[in-house]
Structure 1
Amino acid sequence: MSKDLTAGRSPFKTFKRIIFLLTLMMLITVLGMLIASLVIRWMGGVEQWYEWSHDHYGGLLTWRCLLYAALTYAWLKIQPWKLATSPGDRLRLMGLQAAAVILIVLVEVKKAPVDWGALL
């Protein structure tokens, strides 16, 4: 049986925390969209942005790999497996971790400047 993570908290505090996290996610999303639109305008259009990102793929890949490494370190540091109280929870957590790795690999393969049609 899994441990109730909200035990001992009032429903209002839990609701307040959820609202705070949702607001934070919305602000980060809006900020990202604002930065993207400013960069695209500064570059002169979407085509120029695409060309620039294609030309600088190696540097951007290095940056993303550093971000992935930092996220992995943080994930391992918080030891999420301690949150799992039953073997079923641990299996589900391992499944989510595997799905995250597969998703990252698929995104990076799609972004790679390779003519996959010629390779297949």
Structure 2
Amino acid sequence: MPSPLSHIKPQRPVRRLVVLMALLLADVFVLAFVVTFAGILLLGGIEHWQQWLDDHAGHFFVWRLCLYVAVAAAWPWVRRHRLARDPQSRQQLRVIEVLGVLGIVLYEASNWLRMY
């Protein structure tokens, strides 16, 4: 006997979320391209743009640190709500945490090595 809720399609909200995230990611890439292109035009060439980026690397580092702090501050709330919904996801969350921290450390280390 089919379930009374079998006509509900649970994939629709997931699909909508994936499409929304893909559009958001595309918007971020377009914005980054426009900002880079405008910077190159305003500063008179790629060499000047690269020099400006190098001169302001410290500011970008502080900006990234602020983003890391914001994510770290929000993470306990996200973790608590995820575990409330799915207590078996504790191991998955641990893997996500370790990979996230490892990714940030490797990214910042590669930036530091590139500068020095």
TM-score scaled to structure 2, two decimals? 0.72
Q: How many Å separate the matches in 1 of 2:96 and 2:28?
A: 23
Aligned residue in 2 for 1:44: 44
Number of residues paired by the alignment?
Answer: 105
Q: How many Å separate the matches in 2 of 1:84 and 1:45?
A: 52
Aligned residue in 2 for 1:85: 87
The two structures, once aligned, show a CA RMSD in angstroms of 2.3
Which of the pair has more CA radius of gyration? 2
In structure 2, relative to structure 1, the CA distance for the partners of 1:31 and 1:14 (3 Å cut) is same
**Greater relative contact order (CA < 8 Å, ≥ 6 in sequence):** 1
Aligned residue in 2 for 1:109: 109
Deviation (angstroms), 1:18: 2.4
Structure 2 regions of 5+ residues with no counterpart?
1-7
TM-score scaled to structure 1, two decimals? 0.70
Aligned residue in 1 for 2:24: 24
